[in-house]
Structure 1
């Protein structure tokens, strides 16, 4: 017996069904791989945030409105800590954006493949050190009596470790430490973004007479906008959480660097020195709101979620 004839509409429906089956399998696998991150995000991100919101608006379980925020604002240590973090973030964000993009462009322009790979590897080495280990290394570098670059410190007039880590120098010192630790990874990321630019586009610019600077300014940088915005968001998130560096320097300098230098340090003092978890939660919530606002600015200005 001959098989029943299949009409054109029935054939199209079968083709659509076959096409949807692999897509459903891929979607299911995607949900499986992302479920681990989702669970961790809820446990260690969403739930602690909700608990911090509860603490920020209560005192001993009783609702107190904005009293905890008013108390924090009136603390004589709060606004100096805000100023310290703001100056540091502005310096770090500006210098990191400029130098990371510039170094990525330089590495990408290297003609020898082995030289480019070696340079990226060297840039990435400092990122292998944990934050505390990195700061411990910098304790020696910042001490003119033992530092291998003591001649540089003395050229700026620093003869002792206390002079080096004075309050007015800390934003620059923290910027140097953060750049040395994290810039290498971002250079690698920006290098990958440059590799995603079509070679035909670069070649067309060169045919039109554009030099290296014009190509970078008019072609490469606009096409790297999303990646630069992403780096800005992550830099802001890390910068507002300044804690390890000033805390280690505070202990090493025997109080020259204040224990309440940054907002995170102040929140730590509220929670574990003053036993005021509501005040600590209020500071943390303020940091979260500011970080989310600045992140939203970078997302919309940088077109982070726009489709090409």
Structure 2
């Protein structure tokens, strides 16, 4: 080998889109278009998600003077007589809400997907989505009107079920079901459309093969369609769990409308609010928030694992 050949620089292939004479800058080779698309979300997540959570942990582990308090704030709030009651209220609501949401949304999405007329299908999708256009507070105010037997358009049904007065309808025993109904009415339509879109991604050849093999509509839905949209169902359960644990607007507005029939510490978020703004105990409020965050993350991790959300086919 000659010395000229040794001194010759190795040839490099120009990057796609680069001119033949340009040389890529090595330190920017890791950048991809996807990084640009998610950069705005990452910045907002850091500012309004990660930073507040980190600050909550700091508050939960310190005392009002700023000294390290260990787990004393957690034990102190857990011994509050309102804490376990609020946990029970939120847990019961979540069970009713998640089970009814998963079952009814999947069934309704399957029914819409089986509709053959495009005009009918479009109208049903639009009707499902309309309640989701209302903000949370607006939907609760609407339901306050619906649940008052004196002015409700379904007053006959309320009287038939033995609810003669507004206080009878919003008794604490009825609240988990009422909150689940309000949440379903507000948020289920959007999820029906999401699962409907997921059902449209299933290859028609696969459904036709199942039909040729003798599988009926129920069998095809159970053995073909549900496994194919499993990840979307898990995704719906995770986001609905995160929203459900933050139960605040519904009990807060009903508490104000009932003039004390419903307590203002019904949910954990309400209790944390009372600690912060009624008792001026931000450390205790942060401890309750961190408790709620940890439980939510554990449950979300279970849904991710059971739903195999990040597995590739």
**Structure 2 residue 224 is the aligned partner of structure 1 residue 219:** yes
Query: Alignment length, in residue pairs?
Result: 295
Decide whether aligned partners of structure 1 residues 252 and 193 sit closer, same or farther in structure 2, where only a CA change above 3 A counts. same
State which of 58, 68, 82 in structure 2 corresponds to 1:63.
68
Q: Which residue of 2 aligns with 1:54?
A: 58
- Give distance in 1, aligned partners of 2:130 and 2:296: 28
Deviations 1:127-170 (A, max 9, x none): 00000000000010000000001111111100000000000000
Q: Which residue of 1 aligns with 2:211?
A: 206
Alignment of 1:113-128 (within 5 A): 113-128=118-133
- Give distance in 2, aligned partners of 1:54 and 1:116: 51
**Structure 2 residue 191 is the aligned partner of structure 1 residue 186:** yes
Q: Which residue of 2 aligns with 1:79?
A: 84
State which of 97, 111, 119 in structure 1 corresponds to 2:116.
111
Decide whether aligned partners of structure 1 residues 17 and 33 sit closer, same or farther in structure 2, where only a CA change above 3 A counts. closer
Compute the displacement of 1:196 (Å). 0.8
Q: TM-score, normalised by structure 1?
A: 0.92
The gaps in structure 2 that reach 5 residues or longer are: 1-9, 20-27
**Structure 2 residue 289 is the aligned partner of structure 1 residue 284:** yes
Q: TM-score, normalised by structure 2?
A: 0.91
Q: Which residue of 1 aligns with 2:257?
A: 252
- Give distance in 2, aligned partners of 1:18 and 1:124: 43
- Give distance in 1, aligned partners of 2:29 and 2:266: 52
State which of 294, 304, 308 in structure 1 corresponds to 2:309.
304
What RMSD, in angstroms, separates the aligned Cα atoms of the two structures? 1.9
What secondary structure, in the 3-state scheme, does the structure 1 residue paired with 2:239 have?
Answer: helix
State which of 156, 160, 167 in structure 2 corresponds to 1:155.
160
Q: Which runs of 4+ in 1 moved over 3 A?
A: 16-21, 24-28
- Give distance in 2, aligned partners of 1:168 and 1:46: 37
